[in-house]
Amino acid sequence: MPKGKGPQGKRITLKVAKNSIRVAFNGRRRLDLSKMGIATFPKCILELADVEELDLSRNMLRKIPNIIEKFQNLMWLDLHSNQLDELPPAIGTLKNLTYLNLCNNKLTTKGLPEELTLLRNLRTLNLGLNCLETIPTTLGTLRELIELGLFDNSLTLIPKSIKKLPKLERLNVKRNPLPEFAKEDEPIDTVKRIESLYLVEKKDLCNSCLEMCQGERDELHKLEDVTPGPSKRPSFSSLTTPNSTALDNQEEW
């Protein structure tokens, strides 16, 4: 590997790419290059730029080049679980996109281009599991958004323009240091609980460990045998109509 360069990854040929085209349940053609160990955007797939869906998730991509603009038919783009720290401005030319998954990358607020707000048909945007400290208020212009994932970032504020998106149904902001989600200190649980349980056979234990386990088991059996005894309150079966005082104090009565 050349000094200073990242992993080379797997080289994707046009033949491999053509064999990776699938027809999705909705009839769209999906170029599925997920989990292929790709570290560099394969330029050969420009020959297949007329597909409606592109899956490059779970690879080692560090950069998406501006030639992504060639995929003008794209409605669905999955880039999750790569090593992206920024998006190209050309992402804003994909005007037909309705789904964009950028989860589990290294995206920073600076790495989100202003052109992202040009994706006016976007309905699902996942930015969870990144390195975002703030969310651009301009994302509030994505008026068609139904689902927005912002979980597992470093956000301390959600812009009002995001909260007021007219069609937003699902907003996931879990595991962010947001003040409105700060909880009071939970009471300390003093009960000792088992976190791990290991099962072994007797033959695998030394004599001292076996004796200790058998002793603990015998103690548990003793506890199982302890059942609540009968009430010690005296019973007077011949008393048929005791008054309320006598009922609690029959012996004196």
Which pLDDT score is estimated for 233? 53
What mean pLDDT is predicted for residues 173-194? 64
Which pLDDT score is estimated for 192? 46
Report d(CA 122, CA 184) in Å as an integer.
Answer: 37
Which pLDDT score is estimated for 152? 97
Position 253 pLDDT exceeds 90: no
Per-residue b or e along 13-41, where b marks 16 or more CB atoms closer than 10 Å to that residue's CB? eeeebeebeeeeeeeeebbbbbebebbbb
Question: Where residue 252 falls among pLDDT bands split at 50, 70, 90?
Answer: very low
- The answer to whether 96 touches 119, Cβ cutoff 8 Å, is no
Which pLDDT score is estimated for 204? 56
Mean pLDDT of the chain: 83
Question: Where residue 190 falls among pLDDT bands split at 50, 70, 90?
Answer: very low
pTM of the shown model: 0.70
**C-alpha distances in angstroms, 91 versus 9, 202, 226?**
24, 63, 70
Position 100 pLDDT exceeds 80: yes
The better pLDDT of the pair 115, 184 is held by 115
How many C-beta atoms lie closer than 10 Å to residue 104's C-beta? 19
Position 172 pLDDT exceeds 80: yes
Position 200 pLDDT exceeds 60: no
3-state secondary structure of 66: helix
Question: Residue 4, class by beta-carbon neighbours within 10 Å (0-12 exposed, 13-18 middle, 19+ buried)?
Answer: exposed
Strands laid side by side in the 21-23 sheet: 21-23, 29-32, 53-55, 76-78, 99-101, 124-126, 147-149, 170-172
Least confident of 84-98, 163-177, 193-207, 216-230: 193-207
Report d(CA 23, CA 26) in Å as an integer.
Answer: 8
What mean pLDDT is predicted for residues 133-152? 96
How many C-beta atoms lie closer than 10 Å to residue 210's C-beta? 14
Which pLDDT score is estimated for 138? 95
Question: Where residue 77 falls among pLDDT bands split at 50, 70, 90?
Answer: very high
Q: Which two tokens stand for residue 23?
A: 């027809």
3-state secondary structure of 139: helix
Position 203 pLDDT exceeds 60: no
Which pLDDT score is estimated for 202? 62
**C-alpha distances in angstroms, 201 versus 125, 205, 206, 213?**
51, 7, 11, 11
- The answer to whether 31 touches 48, Cβ cutoff 8 Å, is yes
Which pLDDT score is estimated for 188? 46
**pLDDT one-digit tens code per residue, 106-131:** 999 999 999 999 999 999 999 999 99
What mean pLDDT is predicted for residues 91-115? 97
Report d(CA 214, CA 217) in Å as an integer.
Answer: 5
3-state secondary structure of 124: strand
